[in-house]
Amino acid sequence: TAATAAPTIKQVKLERESELRIEVANDTPLRLRLLNGTAEIFGTELPPEMWLTFPPRLKFAVFTWYGATIEMDGPTETDYTADETPMVSYVNVHAVLEGRRNRAKAPSSSGSEASQGPRVIVVGPTDSGKSTLSRMLLSWAAKQGWKPTYVDLDIGQGSITIPGCIAATPIELPIDPVEGISLEMPLVYFYGHTTPSQNVDLYKALVKELAQILERQFTGNAESRAAGMVINTMGWIEGVGYELILHAIDTFSANVVLVLGQEKLFSMLRDVLRNKPNVDVVKLQKSGGVVSRSSKVRQKARSYRIREYFYGIANDLSPHSNIANFSDLFVYRIGGGPQAPRSALPIGADPVANPLRVTAVNIDRDLLHVVLAVSYAQEPDQIVSSNIAGLIYITDIDLQRRKITYLTPTAGDLPSKYLIMGTLTWLET
């Protein structure tokens, strides 16, 4: 009853350069506001006194440079303050990047090399705070009026669209602490799996396509060229994962490599990049606030992410259900299944005929609960090199009437009839 209910409002006073780390409860949102002082969430300043509502399970920190009082309303999974953070070293990196952006923008910088702002790539194991650091660097830059490009190569926990995709988008304003990255016109490529080992060649091909398009855009846009990019990567750093980090550094011509929380990876990269004098490899400490997630939790996060794509973060979107004839849609698959190592095959056999081969898929019950990408390709042979318009989710296959029912986040016809299928599925809950 109301008489015994404990007051849920709590005030927390933060000393300078400390942070309040919060895990929102599993099923109750949390309201929070800045009462006095100044504070930021992952690089974005909090508006004074305005209540913000954070969705269940969100993990974040409210950091203050000069001291602040925070008010919270609602239960949390955990909340505690920490005065040891790597934030000073992170903001120092930002200051160096800022200097390079200014130099790139200066009128004397006319050559293509000189007018190029920093191209930062953030690498490290899973749960080292890569996405969080990327976000801070982008928000701090945006606060100073730059429009840096965010490139997310993490197909496991991507923060731009949904798992299984790689994407890029300009960041024009500090990233909203609740809503995340605003998606005006992201450039998205569909890989279709959540681990790169499913088809390494396809992953590399898509990274290359994305980099080429961005390069073309930079050529015509001195402002975004000077602002540079921040590239977030996967937590896969061993074996093929390591090879893919090198591939990304090379493909995007990254000139600042930030290594989070792993000495070994740092020294490997420093050694291998020693002969490239214009590439700086910097080691940064991982924040003690980064929350480790088990593979099961990560799996769940992927599923929530797909849900958010269709229903919105606060359940504020209403996806549309559409019905099409089997004959209206063309579903394709890229490459075979997982690639067999050469050693496992008879001598002389080709591991996989062509990992980039596009093959038509018959529409049947196997498509139920599959997440498909809508390609911008005009012809099937352009599918690998084309970005995607968005994703659809198959909710029913009627074999008798030859009808397919699918969900789209917004109303309207599909921009193309070419769909790409990977191994991405989702069970609506």
Least separation in angstroms between residue 6's CB and ligand ADP is 25
Cα-to-chain-centroid distance, residue 44? 17
Residues that bind ligand ADP in the complex, under the rule CB under 6 A:
19, 21, 59-61, 124, 126-132, 235, 287, 289-291
Least separation in angstroms between residue 134's CB and ligand ADP is 8
If the CB atoms of residues 153 and 334 are measured against ligand ADP, the closer one turns out to be 153
If the CB atoms of residues 61 and 167 are measured against ligand ADP, the closer one turns out to be 61
If the CB atoms of residues 214 and 258 are measured against ligand ADP, the closer one turns out to be 258
Closest-approach residue to ligand ADP (CB) = 289
If the CB atoms of residues 21 and 119 are measured against ligand ADP, the closer one turns out to be 21
If the CB atoms of residues 128 and 194 are measured against ligand ADP, the closer one turns out to be 128
If the CB atoms of residues 158 and 390 are measured against ligand ADP, the closer one turns out to be 158
Least separation in angstroms between residue 232's CB and ligand ADP is 7
Least separation in angstroms between residue 40's CB and ligand ADP is 12
Least separation in angstroms between residue 233's CB and ligand ADP is 9
Least separation in angstroms between residue 20's CB and ligand ADP is 9
